[in-house]
Amino acid sequence: MADRVGQPLRRALESAGYEVLPFPGTAEAVLAHVPRTVPLTVTASPSRGTAATLELTERLTAEGYRVAPHLSARMLRDGAELREVVDRLRAAGTTSVFVVGGDARETGEFPDARSLLQALEAIGHPFGDVGIAGYPEGHASLDAAALERSLVQKAPLAHHVVTQVCFDPAVIASWAREVAALGVHLPVRVGVPGAVSREKLLRITAGIGVGESARFLRKQPGLLRRFFTRRGYDPGPVVEGLADEFGAPGHHVTGLHVFTFNDVAGTEAWRQDALRRLGRRR
């Protein structure tokens, strides 16, 4: 029994990817604490602009990491800027991107993720792995029908789905089955917070700007509550609750996408400890 549950969970932990924010010091923290076997994603911040995302992507790629930058539709002015971004990523050797609509208020040529995906396809992008977002607990700005329609429309232009944070494994599994029933058979990587202290979360939300912080907290109201414990957040219960879901029939839950909030030291220590404990169960 332990091996049946432990092996899929071990594979999910071994292949987990980390999401980081393009802040000063992020590259140094990653280099100090994250093995180069861990795939990375770099977010896009309206307050810092696309340039900060690209610069960190280039730096970490040059250091030997596999890095997927967020391409935020609402942060790109037009097709000319998109081609410049693609050329820059091509030159850096980037093979993966994550396409989102984004939180920027002003829009240019691309109002949403679907329009950006279509533009990338039209220019013949070089990316062999394109990720899109999934929402097990819905979206503040879109109803359930619109979310389903959007995912079905985007899926043919993507290679995997990353979910927004959800703390209920049963809700995640149910959503994944519903997605599969819609005909979306992309691998699903479940988004979970890393082992982050409440002090780190507060510094991050303060640093991304008032407007972005408010949007962040509206989208993840349960997250802040869970960080207000003495020791911070422990991702263990959610991850272990998903153990039976990795590779299970009826859906395509395959792995983990860890939102580190730049606490990469704490998150990597937690991951390694989880792998050691799984090893002792065998």
pLDDT of 206 strictly over 80: no
Q: What is the pTM of this model?
A: 0.90
Q: How far apart are CA 239 and CA 137, in angstroms?
A: 17
pLDDT for 250 equals 94
pLDDT for 1 equals 33
Ranges 162-166, 250-254, 270-274: which has the least confidence: 162-166
259 domain-assigned: yes
Each as own residue / partner, the long-range contacts of residues 22-28 (CB below 8 Å, 24 or more positions apart, any chain) are: 22/48, 22/52, 22/53, 22/55, 22/56, 23/207, 23/262, 26/56, 26/262, 27/56, 27/59, 27/60, 27/63
99 domain-assigned: no
| Inter-residue contact 112 to 142 (CB < 8 Å) | no
85 domain-assigned: no
| Inter-residue contact 276 to 43 (CB < 8 Å) | no
213 domain-assigned: yes
253 domain-assigned: yes
Per-residue pLDDT averaged across 230-258, rounded? Answer: 91
Per-residue pLDDT averaged across 198-227, rounded? Answer: 58
| Inter-residue contact 263 to 197 (CB < 8 Å) | yes
- What's the structural domain count of the chain? 1
166 domain-assigned: yes
96 domain-assigned: no
141 domain-assigned: yes
| Inter-residue contact 20 to 55 (CB < 8 Å) | no
Ranges 54-63, 152-161, 205-214, 263-272: which has the least confidence: 205-214
pLDDT tier for residue 15 given thresholds of 50, 70 and 90:
very high
At 114, which helix (H) or strand (E)? helix 113-122
pLDDT for 72 equals 96
CA nearest to 96, candidates 41, 54, 166, 36 = 41
Containing structural domain, residue 258:
2-35+110-121+128-281
**Which residues face 255 on adjacent strands?**
189
Rounded to 10 degrees, the C-alpha dihedral 137/143/149/152 comes to -10
Predicted confidence (pLDDT) per residue in 101-146, tens digit? 987 776 789 999 999 999 999 999 999 999 999 999 888 778 889 9
pLDDT tier for residue 212 given thresholds of 50, 70 and 90:
low
**Which residues face 247 on adjacent strands?**
none
Predicted confidence (pLDDT) per residue in 48-107, tens digit? 899 999 999 999 999 999 999 999 999 999 999 999 999 999 999 999 999 999 877 767
Residue 237 CB contacts under 8 Å (≥ 6 apart), including other chains: none
